[in-house]
Amino acid sequence: MILVLALITATFSPPAPTVGDPITITFSEPVRIPPSPAYEVISGAAGSQPAERFRRAESPPLHKTVVVRTFLPKPFTIAGVTIPVRSVLKKGDDMQPASLTPPQAAPYPRAPFIAIAIAALLALAMWMLAWYLARRAVRVIEPPVPASERYRRAVLALRENPRHAGRWAALADATRAYLAESRANLGSDLTTTELVPRLQEQEHVVADILRIGDMEKFSREGAPPRDFEEVAARALELAS
């Protein structure tokens, strides 16, 4: 038996195994791998073979290639082949854990605040641009209401409000303003006495309106009893 073992050679990898490394051993001839506390058999050439199966087998099978590992930092012998195993610890290691380095405080994040500030400045710039463009926008100017239309509206409003206090005077004022805008020789500074002679013959209703309005303004008796609806209807003909 000793002679047989002496004739068996083997190669293994890795060439310089350390504690815990899987070591693949290839023998020149099939051998039986007996169980041993010095190593753990991971698998054999025929496939994965749990180590426990090798330990409980009464007659270990023959193997030409096995994978073993050990957690002892010293050489071990398997089937007559000595495998050197070195420790992963440095020489003179006292087996004490390294001192912990206290955590360093992370720098305060500035990027979010910079992004918020930039967004706020952009929003302010856009708002100011919109405000400036709105100020320069061309506004739609409604055409002025003609003097005749404004006079017609004033007369209709007085007709619809019979309880209006002094509506004869209001009608006279509206008529005088309309004549001043529509006739160059009928300025608003003319009195009724000065204005009436300058009227055309068909405008005698204007004389009635002005005189009744003056009486309502200045006379103690007030305006004479006249049909306001009838006079207002005739006044509308001036704006036609």
Residue 48, pLDDT > 60, answer no
Residue 46, pLDDT > 50, answer no
SS3 100: coil
Q: What is the pLDDT of residue 118?
A: 92
Find the mean pLDDT for residues 121-143.
Answer: 80
Which tens digit of pLDDT belongs to each residue from 163-173? Answer: 888 889 999 99
DSSP, res 18: B
Residue 215, pLDDT > 50, answer yes
Find the mean pLDDT for residues 91-117.
Answer: 75
Alpha-carbon gap, residue 231 to 170, rounded angstroms: 13
Find the mean pLDDT for residues 215-229.
Answer: 86
Alpha-carbon gap, residue 106 to 191, rounded angstroms: 92
Residue 88, pLDDT > 80, answer no
Alpha-carbon gap, residue 171 to 167, rounded angstroms: 6
Per the CB < 8 A criterion, the answer to whether 179 and 192 are in contact is: no
Alpha-carbon gap, residue 173 to 235, rounded angstroms: 12
* Whether this model's pTM surpasses 0.85: no
Alpha-carbon gap, residue 189 to 179, rounded angstroms: 11
H or E element that contains 10: strand 10-13
DSSP for 57-92 reads: -SSPPEEEEEEEE--SSS-EEETTEEE--B-SSPTT
